[in-house]
Amino acid sequence: MWAGRQPHPISPLVGEMPGRAEGGAIRRAVALVFALFTALLPLPALAQNRPDVEKQFQRWIVGDLGPAAKKAGISDGTLKIAFQGVTLNWDLPDLVPPGTKPPKQQDQSQAEFSSPGAYFSEKRLQGLAATGRGLFSTHAAVLRRIEAAYGVPGEIVVAIWGRESGFGRAKLPFSAVQVLATKAFMSTRKDMFREELIAALKMIERGDADPATMKGSWAGALGQPQFMPSSYLKYAVDFDRDGHADIWNSVPDALASIAHYLQKEGWQRSRDWGFEVSIPQNVSCAQEGPDLARPVSAWAATGITRISGKAFPSADLKADGMMLVPAGRHGPEFIVTPNFYVLKQYNNSDLYALFIGNLADRIASGAGPFQAPWGDVGKMLRSDVLAMQKALVARGYDVGNVDGLPGYKTRRSLGDWQAKNGLAPTCFPDPSLKGKIR
């Protein structure tokens, strides 16, 4: 059915084998072994020329993606319209064209591992907060209706809107189908992008968007909330009731879709995201993580207080909170609520969730930066952190992913190790510990 499948390079040789003289057969057998050998040998990667790869891409659309899309309920007509004139986008990052190898993981381990403080650009936060406050009052009525419907406060929704797309002002120049198809065909994360491409085709099939106006980022994230297509299918809502969940052009749809996402991921109504706190020196920093949740009142009983001097809200006192010290003892300290982990569902990073929480506080109540400074944690490479993680694992500690990034399990295991070895726990890797944990 599909003419594009590549012939196996040695099949003609095998076909010639029967009925020939012995000498010729031996020569051919040697040639066969040689052919097999060269076929299996990891030859230096030869990038194929672009016109050839483009042809392979077109054959892949028809012969590989097409049947999978059909299975998912996509009609031939939709497939045809979606891929009309679509060619590969060679300018995208993380591409692995046929005949080339993915970039080595090793290079990443040599990357400098920077202080969490670098994430919180005061200039950027002030800019987003100022614009956000203006838009919060412009859209106050719709934000109130959104909070009533989904339980998510307007300032959280506006903060995500600002961070994701500059309140819908960011340019989204890429064709989502082209980006997703290029990455599904040749990138480091083909499988994930293939699923997202099929989800995008479903959106076209349902009439949610048409290929020409379905614009996204270089990573395939769509519209003002920057949803991947699978998130659009799950969470996008038509809040202005014009018949389409239009996250590109309708502010009410974009904002309500963000709130709906958080609600579906478990946002708890009437609870904060978290609080910057001060942890007394005699309370261990090695108590982080969602698996060590305790009522906020229990944390308060240990002497932990809000750094603002205000009391914890009574709704939060009775309910669970978790310690969070993203830079260990070298930076701001927090008691967060389960809503913090809901923010991480939007973008799986502690620092992202803290950024949104802080920006929301600035929009709602004119708050400023976190009060405790982000301290200097020295220069470290990811490979240094990796070595510490391996040493801790060898001693029976759970560090989570052994990836050179100090997540909460690494931080608290480090704090426990420090305490056990007579050191004041800092719960964060620093150069002075490099030689000590082996």
DSSP string, 349-360: -HHHHHHHHHHH
Token pair, residue 432, equals 């002075």
The SS3 assignment for 379 reads coil
Q: Which is nearer to Ca ion, 250 or 410 (CB)?
A: 250
- Vertex 124: Cα angle to 426 and 382 (nearest 5): 40
Q: Which is nearer to Ca ion, 246 or 288 (CB)?
A: 246
Distance CA 130, CA 136 (A): 10
Nearest Cα neighbor of 108 from 438, 413, 404 is 404
Residues 179, 89: contact at Cβ < 8 Å?
yes
Q: Which of 16, 22, 112, 164 is catalytic?
A: 164
Q: Which is nearer to Ca ion, 196 or 253 (CB)?
A: 253
Residues 429, 404: contact at Cβ < 8 Å?
no
For the CB of residue 118, give the shortest distance to Ca ion in the complex, in Å: 38
Find how far residue 376's CA is from the centre of its chain: 26
Distance CA 430, CA 433 (A): 6
Q: What is the largest CA-CA distance in the chain?
A: 95
Distance CA 307, CA 406 (A): 25
DSSP string, 99-128: T--PPPHHHHHTSEE--GGGG--HHHHHHH
> Which run of H or of E encompasses 276?
strand 274-278
For the CB of residue 348, give the shortest distance to Ca ion in the complex, in Å: 29
For the CB of residue 245, give the shortest distance to Ca ion in the complex, in Å: 6
Q: Among this protein's residues, is 265 annotated catalytic?
A: no
Question: CA neighbours within 13 Å on the CB side: how many for 416?
Answer: 16
Distance CA 354, CA 331 (A): 13
Token pair, residue 342, equals 């809901």
- Residues at the contact surface with Ca ion, assessed by CB under 5 A: 238, 240, 242, 244, 246, 250, 253
Sole residue written with tokens 């994930």: 192
Sole residue written with tokens 């389960």: 338
Q: Whole-angstrom distance between the N-terminal and C-terminal Cα of the chain?
A: 60
Which pairing describes strands 274-278 and 333-336: parallel, antiparallel, or unpaired? antiparallel
For the CB of residue 212, give the shortest distance to Ca ion in the complex, in Å: 19
Residues 397, 417: contact at Cβ < 8 Å?
yes
Catalytic residues: 164
